[in-house]
Amino acid sequence: MILELNNVTKSYSKNNLALDNFSLKIQRGVLGILGPNGAGKSTLIKLLSTMEKPLSGNIIYNGINIVKKPDYIRKDLGYLPQDFGTFNSLNAYEFLEYVAALKGLAGKGVEGKIDHMLRELNLSNVAKYQIGTYSGGMKQRLGIAQALINNPKVLILDEPTVGLDPEERIRFKELISDLGMDRIVIISSHIVSDIESVANQIVIMQNGSVLKQGNQLELLESMKGMVFELFIAHDKFLDFKTKNLVVSSVREQNGHRVRFIEKISSNEGIKVNATLEDLYIYLTKNRLL
């Protein structure tokens, strides 16, 4: 099972390339796509889900060009868009029945699939309530359920944890980790911790291009020896921040506990292990490795 983008370009205006000659090979497992707003993540997701077509380049799924034959992947696809809309007058069970019918699911097995999804996403107790009464997190969980209802071979989720509380995030991450064992799962997010905890492959994007890609160990190896922590007095903090790439800081009684990045080994601070967030900030601040 392989999904490939070959030299894909997409533009919404003459001088603004959303994706610029973009190439990527996606195989079974969980792929996390990270990038700031405007990086091209949502455009990439729309192309992979056949919601839009590229200006040039090809998207190949198991040897078939889905730019020309989008129905080939649609039968295998589960998709949660960033702006997920529902019919607020329906209840969750009715909505999932409707989605199942759209995806060509029928017969006695449908009820079991719906019940399973409602349990997995912790919605069984509100399944007969109108969706218009749901919280944002409940609607997001329903969106994940509808993406999974046809047991897709390719699951695409755009900002799936928006609105989820900490307990729901943990439940979601466990579900995605299990799903990634036997299918392609693609998660687009700007929340580093969501990607870090579930993705076995990661792509970091900016301005429609890939900045870095690989598994977490490979990516973090490129930051080895570049991350430090240091305590800075209050009166020196602002000056330090202007001269260094600060990842985070914690205000304490007599100053700030600072985490920062230096490409050349720093004479200040204690060397610490790099995290995906360190790499993400380093790359998206245009200090490319």
Domain count, the chain: 2
| 284 assigned to some structural domain | no
Question: Is residue 264 over pLDDT 50?
Answer: yes
> 3-state secondary structure string, 107-147?
CCHHHHHHHHHHHHCCCHHHCCCEHHHCCHHHHHHHHHHHH
Residue numbers of the domain that contains 264:
225-273
Neighbouring residues of 43: CB distance < 8 A, sequence distance ≥ 6: 10, 18, 19, 52, 208
Question: Is residue 265 over pLDDT 70?
Answer: no
Give the Cα separation of 95 and 251 in Å (integer): 48
Are 106 and 150 within 8 A, CB to CB? no
| The token pair that represents 215 in the structure block | 């598994």
CATH code at position 47: 3.40.50.300
| The token pair that represents 133 in the structure block | 């009464």
Instruction: Give the pLDDT of residue 244.
Output: 87
pTM of the predicted structure, to 2 decimals? 0.87
Is the same domain home to 241 and 209?
no
Question: Is residue 3 over pLDDT 50?
Answer: yes
Q: Which residues of 7-29 are buried (b: 16+ CB within 10 A; e: fewer)?
A: ebebbeeeeebbbeebebebebb
- Secondary structure element (H or E) that encloses residue 218, with its range: helix 216-221
* Mean model confidence pLDDT for the chain: 89
Is the same domain home to 67 and 164?
yes
